[in-house]
Amino acid sequence: MTLSDTVYERLRADIVQGRFPPLQPLRLEQLKQQYGVGFSPLREALNRLQGERLVVSAAQRGFRVRALSVTEMWDAVESRILVEGEALRRSVEQGGDDWEAGLVAGFHALSLVVKRLGAGADAPALEELERRHREFHAALISACGSAWLLDFAGTLGTETERYRTLALRSATLRRDRDLEAEHKALLDAALERDADRAADLLEEHYRETGQFLEQVLGQGEAAALR
């Protein structure tokens, strides 16, 4: 693993988890201090992040964290529904035993951390929740057989993760929403090989999240979107 790779991962995490707010200029001199590396690995990492649409750059004017907006959030959510919906359908149709095993394992791991959390949820616990959530959804579509769909799903996943971390800083999940039940229903539909129902549930799941995000972002953290 090169220095570039390390710095890439650290920068990525710092952006996704909102430690660099949207639109913040990423000054090389400062990052050099912060991460303790030279210009070269920094610029390489930033160029790669540009490909994932986490940063933007203008010639001779350096890099900035990409902006967030409610409009853009809905675009990401709807695109995700399209891409992951199709990937899920294919997985349900083509997935083998190992796919099913991965699903069950992923759901169980997610349930455990959800229960453990209960009411109190500090930052590292939320990160763990986010990670297992991501892994469960990755497991759902893992047998789709398309590298491109998985690629796009990954990009959209980190994109929407930016909004989730932003929202969860100011609000806690609505009590009237039973996330565990939504995931359980998704798991059941997948195991029963009901592709249409699974895709519908996934669509519903993501739209709900979108509405939640819109609500929170609209009121509380509007400042963070500028």
Question: What is the contact surface with a copy of itself in residues (CB under 8 A)?
Answer: 1-2, 4-5, 40, 43-44, 47-48, 50-53, 59-60, 72, 75-76, 78-79, 82-83, 86, 145-149, 151-152, 156
Residue 217 beta carbon to a copy of itself: minimum distance, rounded to whole angstroms: 18
Does 51 sit near DNA (CB under 7 A)? Answer: no
Q: How many residues bind DNA (CB under 7 A)?
A: 21
29 binds DNA (CB under 7 A): yes
Instruction: Tell me how far the alpha carbon of residue 99 is from its chain's centroid.
Output: 21
DSSP per residue, 77-116: HHHHHHHHHHHHHHHHHH--HHHHHHHHHHHHHHHHHHHH
Cβ atoms within 10 Å of 147's Cβ, excluding its own = 8
- From the CB of 1, what's the least distance to a copy of itself, in Å? 6
Work out which of 25, 101, 172, 174 binds DNA, going by CB under 7 A.
25
Q: What is the DSSP letter of 174?
A: P
* Token code pair at residue 165: 């971390």
We find the least distance from the C-beta atom of residue 69 to a copy of itself, in angstroms, to be 11
Question: Coil, strand or helix: which one is 224?
Answer: helix
Least Å from the CB of residue 44 to DNA: 6
Q: In what order do the strands lie in the sheet with 55-57?
A: 25-26, 63-65, 55-57
Would you state the structure tokens that stand for residue 68, as one six-digit string?
């967030």
> Cβ 12 to DNA, closest distance in Å?
16
Q: Does 214 bind DNA (CB under 7 A)?
A: no
Contact between 148 and DNA by CB under 7 A: the answer reads no
93 binds, among a copy of itself, DNA, none (CB under 5 to 8 A by kind): none
Residue (58 or 119) nearer to DNA, CB: 58
* Rounded distance between C-alpha atoms, residue 184 and residue 190, angstroms: 10
- Element (DSSP H or E) covering residue 65: strand 63-65
Positions in the binding site for DNA (CB under 7 A): 2-4, 25-29, 37-41, 43-44, 57, 59-63
